[in-house]
């Protein structure tokens, strides 16, 4: 068994609660969760990757669960979020690492691939386009603009926090109902998530990720060129993102592969855990060489 251990790591002026497993001298892999999850979203994947010889670290990202929650929107700009992972790599003594990210975790991964490519062995991005592609699609594509209406709501002051806390976080829990696999999120799982959402300052911090995206716009996609190997995994039943965004993001890369999982939702990590695990492991083995 490769059960994770939990500890706090100081990095980039913040404190990060992490789940960690596998050999300390193995290739470092960061598993980065998205909204509204925390390290727990990777629970089905940590052990298998650790047993395969990887040093697996799944942090609660800035603002989530038991990690630091700095005040203010500017603290959640993508450059700070990417710097967190670089600093965690430094704290773990790794010159290079691979990132596997879902949703906002993938957005952080794209930021790293764009601005910190020397530190990356590779990026596996699940159901999140490159931030430049996402911003442009929300502006120019009617279908994506419709799917991103929730983003405009989350940008508002104060109201999102009230809505998300209401009725024991009913709105956040309801987002998981779009999963395509029955039982993808059990009642016990939802209890764990509610505990994380109830941490002081967590909801405001989580929403600030969205607010910060529109304060500090990414550069135009025509100016983006990514050199590290990239695997994009996309659940095509995503209610928040059009499937073509996977290919649009891959076109920014010198070396990218796209895999669509037709019957999976935005929660592809939970809808198709075995298939996703195989794809990630195969990619990591190539990236580690």
Q: What is the Cα–Cα distance from 198 to 201, expressed in whole angstroms?
A: 8
- Can you name the residues that pair with 190 across neighbouring β-strands? none
Tokens at 103, concatenated? 């949703």
Distances (CA, A) of 15 to 8, 87, 99, 147, 187: 6, 11, 19, 34, 29
Q: Residue 118 carries which DSSP code? A: G
Q: Looking at 103, 236, 238, 271, which residue is catalytic?
A: 103
* Tokens at 82, concatenated: 């990417």
Q: Phi then psi for 137, rounded to 5 degrees? A: -65, -40
Best CA proximity match to 104, nearest among 85, 136, 131 = 131
Tokens (6 digits) for 102: 């879902």
Per-residue tokens: 285: 């083995």
Is 223 a catalytic site residue?
no
266 is an active site residue: yes
Catalytic residue status for 103: yes
**Among the options 17, 130, 266, 270, which is catalytic?**
266
Least Cα distance to 69 among 196, 192, 217 occurs for 196
The one catalytic residue in 64, 76, 193, 210 is 210
Q: Which residues are catalytically annotated?
A: 103, 210, 266
């Amino acid at each position: 068994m490769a059960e994770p251990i939990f500890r706090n790591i100081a990095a980039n002026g913040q404190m990060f609660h992490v789940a960690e497993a596998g050999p300390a001298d193995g290739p470092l892999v960061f598993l980065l969760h998205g909204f509204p999850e925390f390290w727990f979203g990777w629970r089905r994947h940590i052990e298998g990757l650790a047993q395969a010889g990887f040093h697996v670290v799944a942090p609660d990202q800035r603002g989530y669960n038991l990690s630091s929650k700095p005040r203010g929107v500017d603290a959640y700009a993508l450059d700070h979020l990417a710097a967190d992972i670089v600093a965690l790599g430094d704290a773990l003594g790794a010159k290079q690492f691979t990132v596997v990210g879902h949703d906002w975790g993938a957005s952080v991964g794209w930021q790293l691939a764009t601005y910190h490519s020397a530190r990356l062995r590779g990026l596996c991005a699940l159901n999140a386009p490159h931030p430049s592609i996402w911003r442009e699609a929300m502006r120019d594509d009617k279908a994506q603009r419709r799917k991103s209406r929730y983003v405009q709501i989350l940008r508002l002051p104060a109201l999102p926090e009230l809505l998300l806390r209401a009725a024991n976080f009913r709105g956040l829990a309801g987002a998981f109902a779009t999963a395509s696999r029955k039982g993808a999120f059990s009642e016990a799982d939802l209890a764990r998530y509610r505990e994380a959402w109830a941490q002081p300052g967590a909801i405001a911090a989580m929403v600030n990720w969205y607010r910060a995206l529109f304060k500090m716009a990414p550069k135009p996609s025509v100016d983006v060129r990514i050199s590290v190997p990239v695997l994009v995994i996309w659940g095509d039943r995503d209610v928040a993102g059009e499937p073509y965004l996977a290919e649009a993001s891959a076109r920014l890369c010198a070396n990218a592969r796209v895999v669509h999982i037709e019957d999976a939702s935005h929660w592809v990590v939970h809808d198709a855990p075995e298939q996703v695990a195989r794809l990630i492991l195969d990619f990591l083995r190539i990236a580690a060489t």
